[in-house]
Amino acid sequence: MTTPAPAETLVSTLARKFRVEVNAGTRAAPEWLQVRGITSLAPSIDTNLEDDTDFDSDGWGSQTKTLMSWSLETAVKRGKGVETGVYDPGQEILRTAAESFGADGVVNVRWYDRDGGPEAYSGDAEVSYTPTGDSPSSLAMADITLTGKGARLLITNLAAA
Going by pLDDT thresholds of 50, 70 and 90, the confidence category of residue 6 is confident
Residue 143 lies in a domain: yes
Q: Region 112-140: what's the mean pLDDT?
A: 94
Mind giving me the DSSP string for 2-50? PPPPPPPPP----GGGEEEEEE-S-SSS--EEE---EEEEEEEEEEEEE
Reported pTM: 0.89
Residue 125 lies in a domain: yes
Return the ∠ at Cα 87 (arms to 81 and 88), rounded to 5°. Answer: 90
Residue 132 lies in a domain: yes
Q: Region 48-69: what's the mean pLDDT?
A: 95
CB within 8 Å of 13: residues ≥ 6 apart:
115, 117
Residue 141 lies in a domain: yes
Residue 30 lies in a domain: yes
Q: Region 68-96: what's the mean pLDDT?
A: 97
Domain that holds residue 126: 16-47+63-154
Residue 156 has pLDDT above 90, yes or no: yes
Strand 106-113 vs strand 32-34: parallel, antiparallel, or unpaired? unpaired
Neighbours of 76 (CB within 10 A): 26
Q: Identify each DSSP E strand in 52-119 by its residue range.
A: 63-77, 106-113
Domain count, the chain: 1
Q: What is the pLDDT of residue 161?
A: 65
Residue 33 lies in a domain: yes
Check if the beta carbon of residue 107 is closer than 8 Å to that of residue 93.
yes
Query: 133: domain CATH number?
Result: 4.10.410
Residue 101 lies in a domain: yes
Residue 3 lies in a domain: no
